[in-house]
Structure 1
Amino acid sequence: MDRWSNRVAVVTGASSGIGAACCKDLVAKGLVVVGLARREERLHQLKASLPTDQQARFHYRKCDVSVEQQVVDAFAWVDETLGGADVLVNNAGITTKSLITDANNAADMKSVLDTNVLGFVWCAREAFRSQQKRNVTDGHVVVINSIAGHKVPIMPGYSFKMYAPSKFAVTAMVEVLRQEFQQKKTQTKITSISPGVVDTEIIDEKLKEANPNFPMLRAEDVADAVSYCIQTPPNVQIHELTIKPIGEIF
């Protein structure tokens, strides 16, 4: 991780779960980290929870990644204040309670696509543009995908709703961006990390209650995977990393 010392990483969805765990891990490993999320108070609490010597290297901004202008403004702030983003950990993602077949669910369906797909597009675009402006050719874009972005698991009584289709789109976007990064003659890497079930706020509490012994990863397990992927040698790109808890049935 030495080459990332004091370089800037932007982490979206940083107010809880995987995003918060990534912020803590990357700051501890010497990066300057900017956490983006809608819940500003949670970001303030995250900063306060860090050891004193790490707090100076953690910054945060309120940002809803589904709103393009907010993303543009956030990355402009990173450029002006910290010199630009070298690493992006695109973690922000949501699901909804609405089934695809429910009535009057257009707003729910759109919100998932706006956050999980277009939010990723806006953030990846702005991070890469920041790198291009500064002639940074060794950046890294990491997206927290899902096993549901490759195969829709069958779970009796549960539907992945619009979440799985949005993650399938993310899988395709990773390959499109890999090709575009190459076309623009950079060595910027892109990695999709696809966890199985992770014990975070996005997991339906009813699902947990119905399956009390359901194997789940910890948010810290995914943060470890992020660090593993960004510290590979210059000639190595981990395109897709799938991690599952021991005992997962799908």
Structure 2
Amino acid sequence: MERWHNRVAVVTGASSGIGAATVKDLLKANLMVVGLARRLERMEAYKAELPADQQKRFYPFTCDVSSQESVDKAFDWIIEKLGGVDILVNNAGIFKIGQAVTLDPVQIQQIVQTNVMGVVYCTQRAFKSMKERNYDGHVVIVNSVLGHAIPVAPGNAAPIMNVYAPTKYALTAITEVYRQEFRGLKTKIKITSVSPGLTDTEIVPEQFKTDDIPILKSEDVSSCILFTLSTPPHMQIHEITLRPTLGE
């Protein structure tokens, strides 16, 4: 991770869960980190608990990735104050319980706008910053095992994931699109999709957080993100999948 020291990493969905864990690990690795999330107060709260040297390198900023205007405002500030973006971790995402055939279309649009368009908005700005400075940066997309296979609900019941899994399938596809675009546009910017299984975050319904169901911790996912960043410049991890073990 030495080559990233004092470089600028941007993490979306940074107020809790995988995003917050990733922010903390990047700070420990001596990066400057911008946390983007709607809940500024949550980021400010855990910033206050960080060691003094890490507090100086953490910049919480209010941003709703589903809004292009909000994303542009955040990235304009980052570029003006910090000079550019070297790493982008696209982590922000939402999940709402319900069936695709009956869920309010407004809510469905929110899921698509956050989970897919949020990645598009942020990646466009990060890529532009990297390419203009001729910097070989790294874009990470926090995907899901649901972006590769959709399980059948127990007892053939109607599933409750609606369009969440399809948005993750979109991220699987766009990861490959970005890989080809980054190469075709003559850059060495890396792209990695990290696909965790069930992870103990706020968006996971409580019914899935039982002793009978193995579950990952946010820190497990963050450790995989940092592993992909630690690879040498000539090596790219395109996809990394992690699942909880069955336990004792």
Bin the TM-score by the shorter chain: over 0.9
Whether the aligned pair in 2 keeps the contact of 1:34 and 1:60 (CA below 8 Å) is yes
One-letter amino acid of the structure 2 residue matched with residue 91 of structure 1: N
Aligned residues: 244
Whether the aligned pair in 2 keeps the contact of 1:12 and 1:89 (CA below 8 Å) is yes
Q: Which residue of 2 aligns with 1:9?
A: 9
CA deviation map 1:178-217 (0-9, x unaligned): 1110111110000000000001111101232xx4321001
**Pair 1:144 & 2:136 matched:** no
CA distance in 2, matches of 1:222, 1:48: 23
CA distance in 2, matches of 1:233, 1:204: 38
CA distance in 2, matches of 1:100, 1:161: 4
Greater mean alpha carbon deviation, residues 214-223 or residues 147-156: 147-156
CA distance in 1, matches of 2:195, 2:246: 17
CA distance in 2, matches of 1:246, 1:128: 36
**Taking structure 2 as the reference length, what is the TM-score of the superposition?**
0.96
One-letter amino acid of the structure 2 residue matched with residue 123 of structure 1: C
Runs of 5+ in structure 1 lacking a partner? none
Q: Which residue of 1 aligns with 2:43?
A: 43
**Pair 1:75 & 2:50 matched:** no
CA distance in 2, matches of 1:212, 1:203: 15
CA distance in 2, matches of 1:11, 1:133: 20
CA distance in 2, matches of 1:129, 1:155: 41
Runs of 5+ in structure 2 lacking a partner? none
**Pair 1:183 & 2:184 matched:** yes
CA distance in 2, matches of 1:232, 1:113: 31
Q: Which residue of 1 aligns with 2:52?
A: 52
For residue 171 of structure 1, report the CA deviation from its aligned partner. 0.5
CA distance in 1, matches of 2:234, 2:208: 42
Whether the aligned pair in 2 keeps the contact of 1:98 and 1:108 (CA below 8 Å) is no
Q: Which residue of 1 aligns with 2:196?
A: 195
CA deviation map 1:133-152 (0-9, x unaligned): 2221x100001000000001
Once superposed, which parts of structure 1, at least 4 consecutive aligned residues long, lie more than 3 Å away? none
CA distance in 2, matches of 1:188, 1:214: 37
**Pair 1:153 & 2:154 matched:** no
Whether the aligned pair in 1 keeps the contact of 2:21 and 2:222 (CA below 8 Å) is yes
**Pair 1:163 & 2:161 matched:** no
CA distance in 2, matches of 1:13, 1:187: 26
How is 1:1-250 mapped onto 2 (pairs within 5 angstroms)? 1-102=1-102, 105-136=104-135, 138-156=136-154, 158-208=159-209, 211-247=210-246
Q: Alignment RMSD, CA only?
A: 1.2
For residue 15 of structure 1, report the CA deviation from its aligned partner. 0.2
CA deviation map 1:107-153 (0-9, x unaligned): 011000000000000001100001122221x1000010000000012
Report the secondary structure of 1:135's partner residue.
coil
CA distance in 1, matches of 2:197, 2:98: 22
One-letter amino acid of the structure 2 residue matched with residue 142 of structure 1: V
Report the secondary structure of 1:225's partner residue.
helix
